[in-house]
Amino acid sequence: MINAIIVDDEPLAQDILETYLEKMPEIDLIAKCDNAFEANEVLKKEDVDLMFLDINMPQLTGTDFLRGLTDPPVTIFTTAYPNYALDGFELNALDYLVKPISTDRFLQACNRAIEQAELKQKAKAMPVQDGGPGYFFVKADKKLVRVNLEDIVYIEGLKDYVIIRLPNDRVITLQTMKSLEDKLPTADFQRIHRSYIVNLQRIEALQGNMVEVMEKGKVTTLPVGKSYREILAERIDKLKL
């Protein structure tokens, strides 16, 4: 279950969002706040996974409030002002909904938020897997092929197959991304997109929604999905000087 709060100084806007959320059984609305200060008190006391945040509020704007949070929940801006969209995305907001918000657009944003919130919960709950053999075998070309974990640059999903990209080679095997992800040590590997898992040790650079890795002596650029961006940024930030 995803715990959510609504932060908006307009009661009607709160009621509309609450009505929409009734269509999302995965989301539990635990509080409606009239301003950022009320929301801050809720965040101190409750585990909040998702925040619907208005921007133009008295005393403290939504953007300034989010900017001041050290560990904000997944945030979706809900506002009547489209001109703040750039600020919203610079603050790593998952989405930016302009009022009046259609049901379809709201549900689309919620589904993305559920996916990202569940990823954050999984990352926090999952123990770091260390001490394994450092390799595994997969079936490829009618034989079992050994793959050393440290040699993996990234893994690319392609329907029912995955391509394991190595520095100077590749291994194609009949697997799902999910089954392979579950077997990889979380200390070294990170899902960054529905179609990509990257070896954190192989990342050369991170810029916006892209990461750069070295493959076959050349730089390869991989996309970072919005649902995965925040988790990857948090992990990279811990290594920043």
Q: State pLDDT tens for residues 46-63.
A: 989 999 999 999 999 999
By the 8 A CB rule, do 17 and 78 touch?
A: yes
Of all residues in the chain, what percent carry a pLDDT higher than 90?
A: 53
- The predicted structure's pLDDT at residue 121: 66
Which of the given ranges, 28-42, 90-104, 126-140, has the highest pLDDT on average? Answer: 28-42
Instruction: Show the domains of the chain with their CATH numbers.
Output: 2-125 (3.40.50.2300), 135-237 (2.40.50.1020)
Residues 6+ apart with CB under 8 A from 87: 63
Q: Using 50, 70 and 90 to split pLDDT, how confident is the model at 128? A: very low
CB-based contact 135:146 (threshold 8 Å): yes
Instruction: Give residue 223's Cα distance to chain centre.
Output: 13
Q: Which residues have C-beta within 8 Å of that of residue 37, sequence separation ≥ 6?
A: 59, 60
Confidence of residue 125 (pLDDT cuts 50, 70, 90): low
| pLDDT confidence tier of residue 28, bands split at 50, 70 and 90 | very high
Confidence of residue 183 (pLDDT cuts 50, 70, 90): confident
> Is residue 24 scored above 70 in pLDDT?
yes
In percent, the amount of the chain with pLDDT more than 70 equals 94
pLDDT of residue 123: 60
What DSSP line would sit under 30-50, residue for residue? EEEESSHHHHHHHHHHS---E
Strand 218-223's sheet: what is its strand order?
203-207, 210-215, 218-223
Treating both helix axes as pointing N-terminal to C-terminal, what angle do 103-125 and 226-237 enclose, rounded to 10 degrees? 30
Q: Mean pLDDT lowest for which of 10-14, 83-87, 125-129?
A: 125-129
